[in-house]
Structure 1
Amino acid sequence: MVNIRLTAEEMRYMALLQDLTGAIARDCIVDSENNRVIFLVRPGDAGKAIGRRGANINRLRRLLGKEIEVVEFADDLESLVKNLFAPARILSVRVAQRNGRKILYVTVDPSDKGRAIGKGGRKVSVARIVLKRYYDIDEIKIR
């Protein structure tokens, strides 16, 4: 497993998520560039973190003044990629080394390509941050 250090701010956000929702956060990433916080929650806790009709996420968004992303954590790369790009159907995941860089090739169902990329590339951006942190992946290509 990767050795990750959390800042005091990230730990406060994780505690706030747990207090408000009851969901346990495994990790928290503050993306100041895009004014958002990405929570990786325990498997099975995403629904609890989001809340009925997104109520918990909306409350957190108002409290923090930032966009909130919630992803279920997974121990293996393929499951984590599927969680990051949900609800898009992932057909295959492959990692290749090119010029000393790790490139992740994600094959999605053609009808789900837009869902996988997300509005304005949002899903790919979140996936890039999370996968860089855990698997040192430099680039993501969606096919």
Structure 2
Amino acid sequence: MRVELSDEARRYIGRFDELTGVTPKDCLVEGDRLVFLVPAGEMAEAIGQAGQTVERVEDELGRTVELVEDADTAEAFVASALSPAAVRAVTLSEQNDRVAYVEVAEKDRGVAIGKEGRNIDTARTLAKRHYDVDDIQLT
């Protein structure tokens, strides 16, 4: 699936790559925060020891930076996108729409949703762009 990036997102991806040595696959510009989709296996390098690398990126870009790690399957990706919530299971429905039904521990439901729904909205956007998932529903 081809993702079209804005010029602003491309600039942030380039700067992130320069600062971390990791080339993100995607960047969402959401007001005061940036969400980067990091290739699978490169999350530790993007974060850096004790979070120093990502902190340097935040200071340099003047925005909050959040990272999501890519995965091999849509189910694994949805679980990754909702991290740090404890996801027990993801079931993908292939009826008329592709919907990911996510079983989340009750205590982590708020984490999965996020303040004003930001976390789940970000997960929905990235899952649609990269795995053609139409919706994510918590169960």
Question: Paired residue for 2:8?
Answer: 9
Question: Paired residue for 2:24?
Answer: 25
TM-align CA RMSD: 2.3
Alpha-carbon shift at residue 35 of structure 1 (Å): 3.0
Question: Paired residue for 2:79?
Answer: 82
Aligned length: 139
Task: Report the secondary structure of 2:25's partner residue.
Answer: strand
Contact persistence 2:75–2:92 (CA under 8 A): no
Structure 2 runs not aligned, ≥5 long: none
Alpha-carbon shift at residue 124 of structure 1 (Å): 0.9
Alpha-carbon shift at residue 64 of structure 1 (Å): 2.2
Q: What amino acid is aligned across from residue 89 of structure 2 in structure 1?
A: S
TM-score after normalising by structure 1: 0.80
Task: Report the secondary structure of 2:8's partner residue.
Answer: helix
Question: Paired residue for 2:136?
Answer: 140
1:38 aligns with 2:26: no
Q: What amino acid is aligned across from residue 63 of structure 1 in structure 2?
A: E
Q: For 1:117, which of 81, 106, 113 is the aligned residue?
A: 113
Q: What amino acid is aligned across from residue 131 of structure 1 in structure 2?
A: A
Structure 1 outlier segments of 4+, above 6 Å = none
Structure with bigger RCO (C-alpha 8 Å, 6+ apart): 2
Contact persistence 2:86–2:108 (CA under 8 A): yes
Question: Paired residue for 1:57?
Answer: 54
TM-score after normalising by structure 2: 0.81
* Structure 1 residues 33-57: Cα deviation after superposition (integer angstroms, max 9, x where no partner): x332211111121122122332222
Structure 2 CA distance, aligned partners of 1:124 and 1:94? 16
Q: What amino acid is aligned across from residue 50 of structure 1 in structure 2?
A: I
Contact persistence 2:75–2:100 (CA under 8 A): no
Contact persistence 1:39–1:70 (CA under 8 A): yes
Structure 1 CA distance, aligned partners of 2:94 and 2:42? 34
Alpha-carbon shift at residue 14 of structure 1 (Å): 1.5
Alpha-carbon shift at residue 101 of structure 1 (Å): 4.4
